């Protein structure tokens, strides 16, 4: 079993915001993998899927971004998933829009959902796919920026990067983090 976690905030108020790009990637993956209908589990929405002979759990924590860790820990422990088999998909405003960056471990880099996951799992050795959402404009509060919606001009680019990120997650499922770091970074 591999656990793929898409980070975001629940509720219509946050649909289409930069912070919810992890949810968008999981939505695309669910379609591509013909995932089962999501069910409430682990303080989130969980859907099982397969890719080849690999079982996958797609998890969208519904605890709000900054409290994602308990949801991830619950699913990880229930399915006895090794930390190397967990992939967190999240936004990053330090990466330009259209860019992806895989990491096998490291600090949260200011991403509070990832920070809570690291805290709850007790390790920085959590593979992650950071999806670039671009930098905040000058004089913008970063919190306001990530909770803002993509502009009309950005939406076409976002649609493309969501598809590319879903493809990258499929590569991660089959080939692992090192392969994806070489291919996508």
Instruction: Look up the CATH number of the domain holding residue 154.
Output: 3.40.50.1470
pLDDT digits (tens, 9 = 90+) for 13-32: 999 999 999 999 999 999 99
Domain residues for the domain of 76 are 2-184
What length is written for the chain? Answer: 185
Q: Catalytic: which of 18, 19, 60, 112?
A: 19
* Tokens of residue 42, six digits: 């682990």
> The pTM is what?
0.97
Flag residues of the chain having pLDDT under 50: none
- Residue 19 catalytic? yes
* Positive or negative torsion for Cα 91, 96, 100, 105: negative
Q: How many domains does the chain have?
A: 1
What residues contact residue 70 under an 8 Å CB cut-off, 6+ apart?
Answer: 43, 63, 120
Each residue of 103-125: pLDDT tens digit?
999 999 999 999 999 999 999 99
């Amino acid at each position: 079993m591999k656990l793929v976690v898409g980070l975001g905030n629940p509720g219509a108020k946050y649909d289409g915001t930069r912070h919810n790009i992890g949810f968008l990637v999981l939505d695309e993956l669910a379609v591509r993998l013909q995932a089962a209908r999501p069910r409430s589990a682990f303080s989130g929405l969980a859907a099982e899927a397969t890719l080849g002979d690999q079982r996958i759990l797609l998890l969208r924590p519904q605890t709000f971004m900054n409290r994602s860790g308990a949801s991830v820990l619950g699913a990880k422990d229930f399915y006895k998933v090794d930390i190397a088999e967990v992939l967190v998909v999240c936004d990053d405003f330090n990466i330009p829009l259209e860019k992806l960056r895989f990491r096998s471990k490291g600090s949260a880099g200011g991403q509070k959902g990832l920070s809570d996951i690291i805290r709850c799992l007790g390790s920085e050795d959590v593979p992650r796919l950071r999806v670039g959402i671009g930098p905040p404009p000058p004089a913008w509060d970063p919190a306001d920026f990530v909770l803002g919606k993509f502009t009309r001009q950005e939406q076409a680019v976002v649609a493309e990067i969501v598809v590319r990120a879903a493809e990258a997650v499929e590569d991660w499922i089959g080939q692992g983090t090192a392969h994806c770091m070489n291919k996508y970074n």
